[in-house]
Amino acid sequence: MDDYSIPSNLKYTKTHEWATSVNGSFKIGVTDYAQKSLHEVVYVELPEIGKKVKAGETVAVLESTKAIADVYSPVDGEVVEVNAALEGSPELINKDPYGKGWICVIKAESEPKDLLTPEQYAELIRRELSKS
């Protein structure tokens, strides 16, 4: 059984994104669990800067050797920054999902609801694993 890293300083979504806020902007990415499930990410479709998104809408797409996964925005807002390094090195998602594998920064229009604490997210993973 794999172990999954869940840093205690981040917030999480039910759809396996992480988010951290800095002055009302949310830097987001996908979790260790998500990258391990996807395996070998070979392409990242990044949003355009200025794109407006609602919480729960697709903001980026990850493609691995075998699967395609949407990355959902945890907040309503506008994309203000993207991690261009992923264009040439999509494997950063696998190597460093919480660091160099960040996906984009969204300037939030309102406080996000329903974000999970690390403890709640860990419980969600445990439930998903027990199902499979």
Partner 1 sequence: MKALPLIEFYESLGANISTFAGWQVPLWFEGVIPEHLAVRESVGIFDVSHMGRFWVRGSHAAAMLDYLFTHNIATMPVGAARYSLCLNEGGGIKDDLIVYRVDENSFFVVCNAVNREKIYGWLTQHASSYGVSVEDVTERSVMFAIQGPNSPPLIEKTLQIPIGEVKWFRFTTIKRGEATLIVARTGYTGEDGFEVIILPEETVDLVDHSTELLQQLLSSGRDYNVKLCGFGARDSLRLEAGLVLYGHEISEDITPLEARLHLFVKFEKESFIGKESLEKQDLEGLSRVRVGLLMIDPGIPREGYSIVKGERIVGKVTSGGYSPLLKKGIAMALVDTRHAILDSCVYVKIRQRNAKAKIVNWPFYNTAQYGRTRVVKWGVRNGSKSGRLQHSIKLEVYEDP
Residue with tokens 């890293």: 5
Number of chain positions touching partner 1 (CB under 8 A):
11
Is residue 45 a contact residue for partner 1 (CB under 8 A)?
Answer: yes
- Residues 2 and 125: their CA atoms lie apart, in Å, by 12
Is residue 40 a contact residue for partner 1 (CB under 8 A)?
Answer: yes
Report, in Å, the least distance between residue 127 CB and partner 1.
21
Report, in Å, the least distance between residue 21 CB and partner 1.
29
- Residues 59 and 61: their CA atoms lie apart, in Å, by 7
- Residues 91 and 88: their CA atoms lie apart, in Å, by 9
Report, in Å, the least distance between residue 115 CB and partner 1.
27
Among 42, 80, 122, 124, binds partner 1 (CB under 8 A): 42
Residues with Cβ within 8 Å of 74's Cβ and at least 6 positions away in sequence, in order, are 11, 13, 17, 19, 26, 28, 55, 106, 112, 115
Say which amino acid occupies 131: K
Report, in Å, the least distance between residue 95 CB and partner 1.
13
Q: Per-residue x/- mask for partner 1, residues 46 to 85, rule CB under 8 A?
A: ---------------x-x-xx-x-----------------
Is residue 87 a contact residue for partner 1 (CB under 8 A)?
Answer: yes
The single-letter DSSP state of residue 117 is: P
Among 5, 24, 43, 117, binds partner 1 (CB under 8 A): 43
Give the pair of three-digit tokens for residue 82: 């993207």
